[in-house]
Amino acid sequence: MSPQPRRQERGQRRMAQLLDAAAEVFADTGYAKATTNAVATRAGVSPGTLYQFFRNKEALAEGLAERYQQALTDAHRRAFDSGLASLPLPDLVSRMIGPMIEVNIANPGFKALFTATDMPEHLGAPARRMHAAVVDRIAEVLTARSPDQPATDLRRTAVVATQIFGSLLGTIVAAKPADRSQWIAELERALVGYLSPG
């Protein structure tokens, strides 16, 4: 192997290390309070090393947004596979929320980055588009299950369901692994109760 590919490989590993550290810092302090110095310290490198790869905090956030966008797209695909509408409601809820919870657990800075109100517009846009796609897909599933219900009612139900999910997501992600399944069961119970007809 020539020296150039080895250097490129080392550079890719360093970038991944810095993004991992940024995810942890964003998760711990939020985007607004995070600093490049804190990220460098968490990564165990000098600020100068960080600046060789990322010009500022926003560039770190952009790198994470790109990483998270792919993970979220994959989770969305798994959550909303074909045949979902025909499942019993508890199975449907479990199938929808499972992949979305997994992506949030695997990416600790995700919620801090994509739900921050002080994020630059272009960084929050992908998450807003994905959120809208999730609401649309839930509304489609609800329509397939209840074709006689007005579309506006089903869309409102989809919005509320995503808000219920979002309100417990932080608790689930922060829970100790031994307690997490209980929190997920509570979320599933809330969603099944909300989405049950009548």
The pair of three-digit structure tokens given for residue 88, joined into one six-digit string: 């019993």
Q: Which of 114, 126, 123, 90 is nearest to 166 (CA)?
A: 114
% of the chain exceeding 90 in pLDDT: 58
Query: Quick one: pLDDT band at residue 38, thresholds 50, 70, 90?
Result: very high
Q: Which residues contact 154 (CB under 8 A, 6 or more apart)?
A: 139, 142, 143, 146
For residue 14, CA distances in Å to 18, 21, 45 come to 6, 11, 10
Domain 1-55 has CATH 1.10.10.60: yes
Are 1-55 and 57-195 equal in CATH topology? no
Cα 22 to Cα 123: distance, rounded to the nearest angstrom: 15
Q: Which residues contact 175 (CB under 8 A, 6 or more apart)?
A: 182, 183
Q: Which of 31, 14, 17, 102 is nearest to 65 (CA)?
A: 31
How confident is the model at residue 80, as a pLDDT?
A: 85
Using the predicted structure, report yes or no on whether residue 75 has a pLDDT greater than 60.
yes
How confident is the model at residue 101, as a pLDDT?
A: 94
The region of weakest confidence among 27-36, 64-73, 166-175, 185-194 is: 64-73
In the chain, what are the domain boundaries?
1-55, 57-195
> Residue type for 43, please?
A
Using the predicted structure, report yes or no on whether residue 36 has a pLDDT greater than 60.
yes
Using the predicted structure, report yes or no on whether residue 57 has a pLDDT greater than 70.
yes
How confident is the model at residue 68, as a pLDDT?
A: 83
Q: Which of 128, 121, 122, 131 is nearest to 162 (CA)?
A: 131
The pair of three-digit structure tokens given for residue 13, joined into one six-digit string: 């590993």
Using the predicted structure, report yes or no on whether residue 2 has a pLDDT greater than 60.
no
Q: Where on the phi/psi map is residue 191: left (φ > 0), alpha (ψ -120 to 50), or beta? A: alpha
Which of the pair, 142 or 73, is modelled with greater confidence?
142
Using the predicted structure, report yes or no on whether residue 43 has a pLDDT greater than 70.
yes
CATH architecture of 57-195: Orthogonal Bundle (1.10)
Cα 151 to Cα 183: distance, rounded to the nearest angstrom: 31
> Residue type for 111, please?
K
- pLDDT 10s digits, 142-185: 999 999 999 999 999 999 999 999 999 989 988 999 999 999 99
**Average pLDDT rounded to a whole number, residues 98-127:** 77
Q: Where on the phi/psi map is residue 30: left (φ > 0), alpha (ψ -120 to 50), or beta? A: left
- pLDDT 10s digits, 106-117: 887 777 776 666
